[in-house]
Each structure stands twice: as structure tokens, then as C-alpha cells.
Structure 1
Amino acid sequence: MGFEEMKDKAKDLIGQHDDKVDQGVERAGQFADDKTGGKHTEHIDQGEDKLKEGLRNFGGQQQ
């Protein structure tokens, strides 16, 4: 499987399972927030939002 095929497969999966992707991003953000003792909550939340937006755009779904 070539790079383009893998990229297309990732786009399809993200588009089909956007709710699961969002949950995963939120869990990762919560993990990072816990590890930093809540010192960077605002920045982590902003990063989560940007990542979700980027993944939605990559997966072909607009907000």
C-alpha cells in the first residue's frame, strides 16, 4: 500500500468516525492536562480545538 492509498484510507476513517476521533483528542488532552497539573489547561484546550478542526478538514467534513 502506497502513501496516497494510506492517506485516502485515513481520510475515510476520520470522516466515518469523527465522534471517536474527537473523543480520542479529548482523552489525549485530558491526559496532558493531568500530567502538567492543570498548569496549561487553556493552551491544551486550544490545541485540542485546532487539532479537531484540522482532522475534520482532513477527513472532508466541514463544521
Structure 2
Amino acid sequence: MSIFDDIKGKAEGLIAGKEDAIKGGIEKVGDFVDEKTGDKFKDQIDSAQQAASGFVDGAAK
């Protein structure tokens, strides 16, 4: 077992049952950053949002 397996296990425990709220927060933070930067980094922010939401979906399984 690696340290990453241990971290993933802890993340799964923290995320379980809160997936929608976490993904909603990810969306709000991304929208806030887009607003403050004038959409200058919109593509990068969208990619980060998708990756973070994907992690939440993967950890929930």
C-alpha cells in the first residue's frame, strides 16, 4: 500500500454522501475565478473543474 492509496481512502470517506455539494462548490469557485479574471483563464478553469469533479465521481465509487 502506497501513501497515495491511503490518501485516496481518506478522501473517499470524506466525500461519501456529499458529492453534489462538493461538485457545486467546485462550480462556484470556478465561476468566481472566471468572473474575477474576466474569463481570461476560462479554458484552464473549466479543465480544472472537470478534473476535480471527475475525482469526486471516482472517489465516490
Paired residues, number: 54
Question: Deviations along 1:19-53, whole A, 9 cap, x unmatched?
Answer: 11110000010111111111111111111000111
TM-score (norm 1): 0.69
Provide the alpha-carbon RMSD of the alignment: 1.7
CA distance in 2: counterparts of 1:14 and 1:60, whole angstroms: 6
TM-score (norm 2): 0.71
1:24 alignment partner in structure 2:
25
Alignment of 1:1-63 (within 5 A): 8=10, 10-57=11-58, 59-61=59-61
Ranges in structure 1 where 5+ consecutive residues have no aligned partner: none
Q: Which runs of 4+ in 1 moved over 3 A?
A: none
State the identity %: 28
Ranges in structure 2 where 5+ consecutive residues have no aligned partner: 1-5
